[in-house]
Amino acid sequence: MCVSLPFVLFPHSSSHCTVVYYLQVLEYILSVVVSTLSILLSTDFQQVMSPVVAMSTAQYNPTSQTLSIPKLADDGSNWVDYEIKARTAMGSKGLSRHLAGTVIKPKPFEIDNGVIMFEKNKPATDEQIDAKEKRLDEYEQKEYLARHIILTTVSPRLVASIKSKDTAAEMWNAVKANATAATELHQIDTLQRLQQKKCGETDDMKAHLEELIELRDKLIGMGATIQDSQFRMIILSSLPPSY
């Protein structure tokens, strides 16, 4: 397919004009690559990625309202995304203080010779006992719910290491420490893979661009910043000589 370029198709005689010409060619190729990528991937890429997203998302549905929390990757590569969504989901259910470890557990009434005491020398009334039991039940329900959400959204390896923790806050802190320790190394590895990715003359260009986007998105998911200008240069440097 022939494409008319928006500039002169032959270099001028001077070396300066030749350099300008090739810079124009490079800029035009980049614009074509970006435009083509947007068209090709607007529908197809979403269709390809949607099963992956569905597989990596843990659905939590304690009521009629569904909350979606991404599954934390075992290598912690999506910790940034997981943390904010897990905190938001648990906060919407009143579990934030359980996660932070600032919630105060209600103390049950003392029992003296089989009598439930409200305070010293004063037995508790039925209403006081019911109110206390309601507070205790609410605390335990929220505490176990927070633990359940954490345990069902992390890897089996992490579950094995945190299941003996006494509180949801201790579980969360252990998960955070594990994920953040692995994230920095994973960022370095992923960035190197992105920068070293090359497309051969006979390789599938669409598949190559999809891989670059996937690696870039992984980096962003780990909290890294990839500027558009930086990503454009990575794309250009990955193209075969014929481009």
At 193-237, the pLDDT tens digits run 888 889 888 889 899 999 999 888 888 877 778 888 888 899 989
Which residue did the predictor score with more confidence, 171 or 62? 171
Residue 170 half-sphere exposure toward CB, CA atoms < 13 A: 8
Ranges 24-38, 84-98, 116-130: which has the least confidence:
24-38
Q: Is residue 27 part of a domain?
A: yes
Number of neighbouring beta carbons within 10 Å of residue 69: 21
Give the separation between CA 204 and CA 109, rounded to whole angstroms: 71
What are the strands of the beta sheet with 122-123, ordered from one edge? 110-112, 115-119, 122-123
Give the separation between CA 48 and CA 88, rounded to whole angstroms: 28
Q: Is residue 49 part of a domain?
A: no
Find the farthest-apart pair of alpha carbons in the chain and give their distance in angstroms, rounded: 107
Q: Give one word for 113, left, alpha or beta, with left for phi > 0 and alpha for psi -120 to 50.
A: left
Residue 50 has pLDDT above 70, yes or no: no
Q: Which amino acid is at 213?
A: I
Q: Is residue 8 part of a domain?
A: no
Ranges 97-106, 138-147, 192-201: which has the least confidence:
192-201
Q: Which two tokens stand for residue 136?
A: 């205790």
Residue 38 has pLDDT above 70, yes or no: no
Which residues make Cβ contacts (< 8 Å) with residue 122, sequence separation at least 6?
Answer: none
Predicted local distance difference test score (pLDDT) of residue 18 = 53
Predicted local distance difference test score (pLDDT) of residue 112 = 83
**Torsional sign, CA 52, 55, 60, 63:** positive
Statement: the pTM of the whole predicted model exceeds 0.85: no
Q: Is residue 73 part of a domain?
A: yes
Q: Is residue 187 part of a domain?
A: yes
Span 91-104, mean pLDDT?
Answer: 93
Could you give the percent of the chain with pLDDT greater than 70?
Answer: 72
SS3 (DSSP) at 119: strand
Give the separation between CA 188 and CA 235, rounded to whole angstroms: 18
Residue 1 has pLDDT above 50, yes or no: no
Q: Which of 196, 182, 230 is nearest to 78 (CA)?
A: 182
Number of domains forming the structure of the chain: 1
Give the separation between CA 210 and CA 134, rounded to whole angstroms: 54
SS3 (DSSP) at 239: coil
Q: Is residue 65 part of a domain?
A: yes
- Domain with 201, as residue range(s), is 15-38+60-238
Band (59; pLDDT cuts 50, 70, 90): very low
Q: Mind listing the pLDDT tens digit for each residue in 152-184?
A: 999 999 999 999 999 999 999 999 998 887 777
Q: Which two tokens stand for residue 23?
A: 């810079």
Q: Is residue 158 part of a domain?
A: yes
Span 68-92, mean pLDDT?
Answer: 89
Which residue did the predictor score with more confidence, 160 or 64? 160
SS3 (DSSP) at 68: strand
Residues present in the chain in total: 243
Predicted local distance difference test score (pLDDT) of residue 75 = 83
Q: Is residue 159 part of a domain?
A: yes
